[in-house]
Amino acid sequence: MSWQPTALNASFLTLVGWALFLAVFTGRPDLVMVAIPLVVALALGRRPTGSALRIEHRVSDDRLLEDERASVTLTLHADGPVPLVELLEPLPPSVRLERGRAHAFFSLRAGEELRWEMTLRCAGRQRLQLGGPYLRFWGPLGLVAAEARHRAPQTVAVYPQLTPLRHLPRPLRTQTFVGNYVSPVQGEGIEPGDIRPFAPGDHIRHVNWRATLRLGTLHVTQHHRERNADVVLLLDTLSDVGPGGATVVDLAARAAATLAGAYLARKDRVGLIEYGGQLRWVKPAAGRAQLQRLLDTLLDASVVFTYVTRDVDLIPPRILPPQALVVALSPLLDPRFVRAATDLAARRFDLVVIAVSPVAAVRAAVRRGRVADVAARLWTLERRAQLDELRRTGLTIVDWDGVEPLDAALASLTRRRPRRVLAG
Amino acid sequence: MIRLAIATLVVLVVGIPLAILPAAPISWLAVAAAATGGVGVLALSVSLVTASATLSLIGYALALSWARPDADPVVSVILGSALVLVLALTHFARRSEGAMLGPGVMAGLIRHWLAIVGFGVVAAVVLTLGGVVLSAALVGASLPVVVVAAALGAALTVAGVIALVTTARDADAPSRR
């Protein structure tokens, strides 16, 4: 670590120079006496002081949900006396300091230990990189300083907030594994179906005694099977608008995380396709580990600019099974995504488009005013007309403004969509 | 609180020339110095405080040369010490603005600053006493004698520094055996 003179030396030298010049000019010894404390300060204040400091940098959590808090603790241990040390923990703009300060000065005696703690509130989904604090050791008068960086790279994954959902889009087709959807196929289950005459091999506990007494012969109650479904979340990362931390991709990622959590809780297999500059996907699977995989993928979802249009044909069937319910989350700003969604619907995929409105996100990013109000209203009308046109082509679209709860937006869809299940 | 301390020191520095000679030109310089210093205190700018101090020094020199009082080392040392403190304090206030100050930081800094100012005072006293002794020893000496004595002292100082530097380098050098 090298000690460097600071700009304060220039101020001291200016005053010394003026005092000596005026002393010679006026022939007064008093002005030489004025310069003496300044010269002594320049001589003594430029001595390097102690810099023997050990730092332990600790972050309370490495995984958080949006708006949760993490505390960063720095323990300073001085091996020798440290008259003045300045510490600065650089924080990204997406993090708010809730308690404590990210900039501090400390003075430590030899062997002394100090704890410096701050609480951070993580505003949006991100991989928060904390690299460790910058250090600046100061001479006693601030005439010399030495800089260093304590490198302690730590990453905190801030996942999208999961909100409870009651109105989930029901898949039209179910799969072969046990789940929560009532299949039309008869078999083992708890949902009663048709009644038919008793046949050899039927369980006695399935006998419907009421029908048997009325009809005079043994009848049994059949049951519907409960099956799960494949759900594929199709996230549009071709375009993004809105203020940092609340862009349409952030809103869509939050909605995707919520949907993934809700479907996985219903024992469905959930997959994810990030349809953007880079085509990334997670194969449909069930369980808690899958939720973690999906959240990790959603954390990195962002717009990657490209002129290349990737067709949905590129996606292998094991990632996008034909029987799956596809939930597309998109602001519908990029015609390439609209084309892909129309293509999927034309190929008889069970598709639900959650159209994340970019109007509110853009309004939050621009200054309020009459022109902005009129522009927003016009844009809303234009967008409504676009959605109506897409609905006429056969797309099922849920309009979500990103402000109201997703569950409220999905409630209207639950009323409109048919409850029948087509195949087992 | 730190701004108040800096403002007090600026008032002290600006007020000393006025105390020596409350004349109009000195007052105008003092007003300019106070205004510059005031803005410097508000903005915590070392440059503006330095400019204010420079104006005060000019005012001090003018007051001394017009009023022609006897040399007063106490006031001079107070002025010099105040200048050291005002610069150190402004610089620290500027860089620590909005930062957290750990326990004992201010107390430790003030202790260091006062120690350095104390060394300055001691050096000023020693130099003043040396001057008094020299003036007593050189009573009746002509200007050439004083110049020769000063040159001899300067030559001895340079020789001492060269000797010090050379000794240190020899001690660091590896053995050539």
- Tens of pLDDT, residue by residue over A358-401, are 998 888 888 888 998 899 999 999 999 999 999 888 888 999 98
List, edge to edge, every strand of the sheet that includes A396-400: A280-285, A269-276, A230-237, A325-330, A350-356, A396-400
CA distance B132 to chain A (A): 12
For residues A74 and A133, the answer to whether their CB atoms sit within 8 Å is: yes
**Mean pLDDT within A30-54:** 82
Most distant pair of Cα atoms in chain B: their distance: 75
Q: Which residues of A touch B128 (CB under 8 A)?
A: 33
pLDDT exceeds cutoff 60 at B22: yes
- With an 8 Å Cβ cutoff, are B128 and A33 in contact? yes
pLDDT for position A273: 92
Q: How many residues does chain A have?
A: 424
Q: Average pLDDT for residues A170-183, to the nearest whole number? A: 76
- What digits encode the pLDDT tens for the residues A109-137? 888 888 999 999 888 888 888 888 899 99
**Element housing A177 (H / E):** none
All residues of chain B having their beta carbon less than 8 Å from the beta carbon of residue A45 are: 88, 116
CB-based contact A22 B121, cutoff 8 Å: no
Using the predicted structure, report yes or no on whether residue B142 has a pLDDT greater than 90.
Answer: no
CA angle B37, B38, B39 (to 5 degrees): 90
Chain A positions touching B79 (Cβ under 8 A) are 34
pLDDT score of B176: 41
Smallest Cβ distance to A19: which of B57, B75, B103?
B57
Q: How confident is the model at residue B24 (pLDDT cuts 50, 70, 90)?
A: confident
Contact status of A21 with chain B (Cβ, < 8 Å): no
Q: Give the phi and the psi of residue A294 in degrees, each rounded to 5.
A: -65, -45
- CB-nearest partner of A105 from B102, B113, B127: B102
d(CA B123, CA B118): 9
Inter-residue contact A86 to B99 (CB < 8 Å):
yes
* Nearest residue, CB atoms, A37 vs list B47, B50, B77: B77
**Which of B114, B42, B2, B108 is CA-nearest to residue A105?**
B108
Answering whether pTM is above 0.90, one says: no
Please give the average per-residue pLDDT across B44-68, as a whole number. Answer: 92
Give alpha helix (H) positions in A231-317.
248-265, 288-299
Separation of alpha carbons B86 and B16, rounded Å:
15
Quote the minimal CA–CA distance from A143 to chain B in Å: 9
Instruction: Give the span between the Cα atoms of A291 and A289, in whole angstroms.
Output: 5
User: Does residue A81 belong to the interface with chain B, where contact is any CB pair within 8 Å?
Assistant: no
Residue A355 has pLDDT above 50, yes or no: yes
**CB A299, CB A321: distance < 8 Å:** no
* CB contact A84 to B (< 8 Å): yes
Per-residue model confidence (pLDDT) at position A414: 61
* pLDDT computed for residue B10 by the predictor: 93
Q: Distances in Å between the alpha carbon of A364 and those of A239, A276, B100? A: 17, 24, 33
ipTM for the assembly: 0.82
| Mean pLDDT, all residues of chain A | 86
Q: Cβ of A366 under 8 Å from any chain B Cβ?
A: no
- Segment holding B60, helix H or strand E: helix B46-67
DSSP β-bridge partners for residue A105: A86, B101
What is the distance in angstroms between the Cα of A122 and the nearest Cα belonging to chain B? 21
Ranges A126-130, A231-235, A267-271, B60-64: which has the least confidence? A126-130
